[in-house]
């Protein structure tokens, strides 16, 4: 039996407490499977006096997480502090420099400093593991690092933010507007008081930055991701998507193109009859297209203290097991620069919703603008706007702008944007055209 593996845990919120319970409840099973015991020897948090639902009696307390990270009495430093700078970054750097393995759930830290930290880990012959940083309990990091190492990854995509998926699922199921459902999500604790980080797509982009590096062997490049949020998705879009056979999901997508890596987070139409369309509520998913394996889809909880603790534990188990590939699969010296594909070169089909003034020649002008840029249409649905007045027939009021939804054939983003800009300038539409990319699964 090998010597026990000693953990120092910094950050004792619900994930930290959940991890300590998990390790305690499963101590015997883990010891039998791994051939060595995992023990928590030291902990650190901001407030020592706070009551916590776990047994800390055998752990040494540190007020300073950096001091904990450097303690000679730990083998692994578990960072559950959070934040891309400050204590989290300082403690992780200190741990690696002191030769301690690091396990972290901190996506912001990795999205910003992933390459530098991976380099530090390599120099000091340490592990830097982060299964919990992307898609919570879904084992996507291990799948990319190990299971798919023999595949060339062509595309990786998924539902990476539970808050957005909860909101879009509710809007679809209950026919309610964005603002109302967001308020409910805030009440339930699924969304922050300032929801921008989630609904603006930035949280998903942090995760996509990490996945992109692992999938394509490139440097982590959060700033190179094209990000759009879900704030502008209306009930009209949700309804039209349903009628056209689609669901709207906030997807993070990264793929290889001839001109570089296309990495983007935005509302996306996916076919209604697909497994990904049925991923509802706060659940996350990640799909990977590999040249050998085809498409793998992993679905599971993207957040939650117990699921996150499970993922953190899997990293600890991995270190207990020994061996392993470098943090970013290849040594950082082998990472390629992230060469960004221009979003204008994105190729795909598009959903477009226009509010068209009911006047002669308007539709002809719109169709011409599309045709001028080589955008051909798969379908056109025109409806008069329903009156909002009670007692109205619901069949559309004469004179009101008609809602026109279009599905294009495959075209480029540059072409569709050019056409929509021209349509807007022509003055035939009463509001800015809505445009949603359709992803081929």
Residues interacting with its own copies, by CB under 8 A?
Answer: 18, 22-23, 26, 29-30, 32-34, 131, 137-139, 142-143, 146-152, 217, 273-279, 285, 290, 292-301, 304, 306-307, 309-311, 313-314, 317-318, 321-326, 329-331, 334
Rounded to a whole number of angstroms, the minimum distance from the CB of residue 233 to its own copies is: 21
Rounded to a whole number of angstroms, the minimum distance from the CB of residue 349 to its own copies is: 21
Which strands make up the sheet holding 5-10, listed edge to edge?
60-62, 38-44, 5-10, 76-79, 101-104, 128-129
Measured CA to CA, the distance from residue 374 to residue 169 in angstroms comes to 34
Residue 66 CB neighbours (<10 A)? 17
Written as one string, the DSSP assignment of 52-89 is: -SS--TTSEEES-HHHHHT-TT-SEEEE----SSHHHH
Written as one string, the DSSP assignment of 250-298 is: EEEEEEEETTEEEEEEEEEEEESSSTGGG--TTEEEEEEEETTTEEEEE
Measured CA to CA, the distance from residue 347 to residue 257 in angstroms comes to 10
Pick the closer one to its own copies by CB: 277 or 420: 277
Pick the closer one to its own copies by CB: 22 or 181: 22
Give the CA distances from residue 60 to residues 17, 39, 44, 97, 136, in Å, rounded to whole numbers and listed in that order: 15, 12, 9, 21, 28
| 423 backbone φψ class: left, alpha, beta (φ>0; ψ -120 to 50) | alpha
Measured CA to CA, the distance from residue 11 to residue 184 in angstroms comes to 29
DSSP 3-state of 371:
helix
φ and ψ at residue 190, rounded to 5 degrees: -85, -20
Take residue 94 and report the two structure tokens written for it. Answer: 């200190």
Pick the closer one to its own copies by CB: 269 or 354: 269
DSSP 3-state of 414:
helix
| SS3 per residue for 118-154 | HHHHHHCCCCEECHHHCCCCCCHHHHHHHHCCCCCEE
Q: Treating both helix axes as pointing N-terminal to C-terminal, what angle do 235-244 and 162-174 enclose, rounded to 10 degrees?
A: 80
HSE-up of residue 15 (Cα within 13 Å, Cβ side): 26
For residues 8 and 101, the answer to whether their CB atoms sit within 8 Å is no
Place of tokens 């595949």: 151
Taking Cα atoms as reference points, which of 368, 149, 408 lies closest to residue 269? 408
Pick the closer one to its own copies by CB: 79 or 318: 318
Rounded to a whole number of angstroms, the minimum distance from the CB of residue 306 to its own copies is: 5
Residue 368 appears among annotated catalytic residues: no
Rounded to a whole number of angstroms, the minimum distance from the CB of residue 304 to its own copies is: 7
- Which of 107, 170, 207, 249 is an active site residue? 207
Known catalytic residues are 207
């Amino acid at each position: 039996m090998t010597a026990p593996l000693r953990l120092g845990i910094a950050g004792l919120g619900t994930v930290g407490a959940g991890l300590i319970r998990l390790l305690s409840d499963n101590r015997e099973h883990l010891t039998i499977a791994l051939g060595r015991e995992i023990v928590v020897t030291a902990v650190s948090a901001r407030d020592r006096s706070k009551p916590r639902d776990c047994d800390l009696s055998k752990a040494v307390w540190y007020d300073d997480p950096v001091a904990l990270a450097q303690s000679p009495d730990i083998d692994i430093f578990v960072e559950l502090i959070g934040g891309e700078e400050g204590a989290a970054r300082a403690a992780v750097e200190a741990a690696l420099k002191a030769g301690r393995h690091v396990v972290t759930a901190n996506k912001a830290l990795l999205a910003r400093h992933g390459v530098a930290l991976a380099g530090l880990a390599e120099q000091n012959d340490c592990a830097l593991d982060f299964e919990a940083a992307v898609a919570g309990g879904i084992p996507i990091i291990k799948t990319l690092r190990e299971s798919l190492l023999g595949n060339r990854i062509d595309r990786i995509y998924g539902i990476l933010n539970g808050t957005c998926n909860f909101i879009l699922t509710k809007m679809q199921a209950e026919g309610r507007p964005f603002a109302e459902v967001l308020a409910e999500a805030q009440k339930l604790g699924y969304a922050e008081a300032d929801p921008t980080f989630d609904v603006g797509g930035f949280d998903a982009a942090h995760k996509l930055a990490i996945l992109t590096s692992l999938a394509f062997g490139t440097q982590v490049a959060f700033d190179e991701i094209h990000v759009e949020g879900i704030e502008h998705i209306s009930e009209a879009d949700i309804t039209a998507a349903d009628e056209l056979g689609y669901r709207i999901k906030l997807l993070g997508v990264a793929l290889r193109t001839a001109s570089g890596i296309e990495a983007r987070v935005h509302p996306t139409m996916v076919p209604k009859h697909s497994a990904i369309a049925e991923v509802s509520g706060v659940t996350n998913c990640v799909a990977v297209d590999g040249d050998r394996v085809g498409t793998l889809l992993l679905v599971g909880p993207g957040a939650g203290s117990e699921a996150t603790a499970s993922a953190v534990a899997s990293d600890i188990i991995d270190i207990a097991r020994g061996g392993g590939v470098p943090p970013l699969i290849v040594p950082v010296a082998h990472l390629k620069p992230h060469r960004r594909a221009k979003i204008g070169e994105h190729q795909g089909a598009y959903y477009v919703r226009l509010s068209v003034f009911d006047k002669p020649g308007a539709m002809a002008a719109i169709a011409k603008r599309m045709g001028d840029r080589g955008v051909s249409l798969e379908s056109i649905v025109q409806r008069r706007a329903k009156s909002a007045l009670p007692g109205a027939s619901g069949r559309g009021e004469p004179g009101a702008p008609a809602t026109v939804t279009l599905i294009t054939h495959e075209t480029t983003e540059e072409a569709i944007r050019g056409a929509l800009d021209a349509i807007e300038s022509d003055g035939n539409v009463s509001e800015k055209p809505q445009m949603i990319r359709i992803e081929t699964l």
